[in-house]
């Protein structure tokens, strides 16, 4: 009986993992399509419109092209590290999704330290990027890898500290409890009492994603593509996949921490399923990230690092103290 239960639970976990992977792959495929369409719309052009109806198969064709391309490895590269880099970059991006709850009953893992789990694992991807940049034995790749490590470590600190205000208000690291603490209407969402933390979180999250205007590790005009310049085929696809999976993760985390998760903004709209509200908020954050890419210029390196250490870090620390003082006074 015990063996049957264990086999059944393993099968259930396998099915859930496969379902999550399928959802993420569909999101990445059509997230890229949506990004191209949004940027095209902002720049007064069409975007993909040839491959498939309305261009819907353009990303599928691009992925297929990457998968059948030759897998090249430079002669002087550290081949073992070169191969491991994309894997170590992608696996944490996928694993952190397990703790994001979509409704009170729809989630993959309900951990008491879910937020800590997310932060701890997401930091590992930095190692994969550094490995790819160093192992390529290419000066542009090495510069891209070093930039990425400096940027991601610098912005990870204010990103994590900005979450502490939410933790103080909720009194928990559990994602579901954080969402339940925001029930009762949009005025109960953490975005309003923690508006400073929300601003810091969004800026730091964009920097963590290495996206415009913080795309210095991949700056095509300076580094040809940065840390993955020597990658091709499916290994290059893994780096791109990890970037878009992190967009999924950041959008989900923002929805949970600051936008009330699955809760409706008004009580009279509570008849709409919570999953629909989660998807609406999630898609709004994704659209915002794409919008920024189409409208913001790239920062200089010194400005980028100065913003992280001289502005965001002190602001995030001040936010913690102010939050703690206000909570103590309200007791």
pLDDT of residue 189: 94
pLDDT of residue 101: 93
SS (H, E, C) 12-60: HHHHHHHHHHHHHHHHHHHHHHHHHHHHHHHCCCCCCCCCCHHHCCHHH
Summarize pLDDT for 230-255 with one digit per residue, the tens: 888 888 888 888 989 999 999 999 99
Where do the structural domains in the chain lie, given as residue ranges?
Answer: 1-68, 73-330
How far apart, in whole angstroms, are the C-alpha atoms of residue 14 and residue 251? Answer: 25
Summarize pLDDT for 26-63 with one digit per residue, the tens: 999 999 999 999 999 998 898 898 888 889 999 999 98
Sequence-distant (≥ 6) Cβ neighbours of residue 240 within 8 angstroms: none
Residue closest to 35 by CA, chosen among 52, 21, 47, 18: 47
Summarize pLDDT for 281-326 with one digit per residue, the tens: 999 999 999 999 888 888 888 898 999 999 999 999 999 999 999 9
How far apart, in whole angstroms, are the C-alpha atoms of residue 210 and residue 226? Answer: 11
How far apart, in whole angstroms, are the C-alpha atoms of residue 319 and residue 169? Answer: 12
- Answer yes or no: is pLDDT of 2 > 60: no
- pLDDT, mean of residues 179-187: 89
pLDDT of residue 21: 85
Summarize pLDDT for 193-209 with one digit per residue, the tens: 999 999 999 999 999 98
| DSSP helix/strand/coil, 94 | helix
Summarize pLDDT for 60-84 with one digit per residue, the tens: 999 888 888 888 888 888 889 999 9
pLDDT band at 3 (very low <50, low <70, confident <90, very high): very low
pLDDT band at 7 (very low <50, low <70, confident <90, very high): low
Mean pLDDT of the chain: 88
Sequence-distant (≥ 6) Cβ neighbours of residue 243 within 8 angstroms: 209, 210, 211
- pLDDT, mean of residues 131-148: 88
How far apart, in whole angstroms, are the C-alpha atoms of residue 26 and residue 4? Answer: 33
- pLDDT, mean of residues 86-96: 90
Question: In Å, how far from its chain's centre is CA 247?
Answer: 3
User: How much is the pTM?
Assistant: 0.91
- Rg of the chain taking only CA atoms, in angstroms: 21
pLDDT of residue 9: 64
């Amino acid at each position: 009986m015990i063996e049957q239960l264990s086999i059944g639970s393993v099968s259930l976990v396998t099915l859930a993992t496969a379902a999550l992977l399928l959802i993420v792959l569909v999101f990445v495929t059509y997230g890229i399509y949506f990004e191209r369409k949004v940027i095209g719309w902002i720049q007064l052009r069409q975007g993909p419109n040839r491959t498939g109806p309305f261009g819907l198969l353009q990303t599928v064709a691009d992925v297929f092209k990457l998968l059948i391309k030759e897998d090249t490895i430079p002669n002087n590269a550290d081949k073992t590290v070169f191969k491991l880099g994309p894997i170590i970059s992608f696996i944490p991006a996928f694993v952190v999704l397990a703790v994001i709850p979509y409704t009170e009953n729809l989630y993959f893992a309900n951990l008491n330290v879910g937020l800590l789990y997310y932060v701890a694992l997401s930091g590992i991807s930095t190692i994969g990027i550094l490995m790819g940049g160093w192992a390529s034995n290419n000066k542009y790749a090495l510069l891209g890898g070093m930039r990425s490590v400096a940027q991601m470590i610098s912005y990870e600190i204010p990103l994590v500290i900005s979450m502490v205000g939410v933790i103080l208000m909720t009194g928990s690291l559990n994602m579901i409890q954080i969402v339940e603490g925001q029930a009762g209407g949009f005025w109960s969402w953490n975005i309003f009492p923690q508006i400073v933390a929300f601003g810091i979180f969004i800026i730091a999250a964009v920097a963590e994603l290495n996206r415009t205007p913080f795309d210095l590790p991949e700056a095509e005009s300076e580094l040809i593509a940065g840390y993955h310049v020597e990658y091709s085929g499916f290994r290059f696809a893994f780096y791109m996949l990890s970037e878009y999976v992190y967009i999924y993760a950041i959008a989900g985390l923002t929805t949970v921490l600051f936008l009330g998760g699955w809760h409706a903004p008004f009580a009279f709209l509570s008849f709409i399923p919570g999953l629909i509200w989660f998807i609406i908020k999630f898609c709004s954050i994704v659209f915002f990230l794409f919008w920024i890419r189409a409208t913001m210029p790239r920062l200089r390196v010194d400005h980028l690092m100065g913003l992280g250490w001289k502005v965001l870090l002190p602001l995030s620390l001040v936010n913690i103290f102010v939050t703690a003082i206000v909570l103590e006074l309200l007791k």
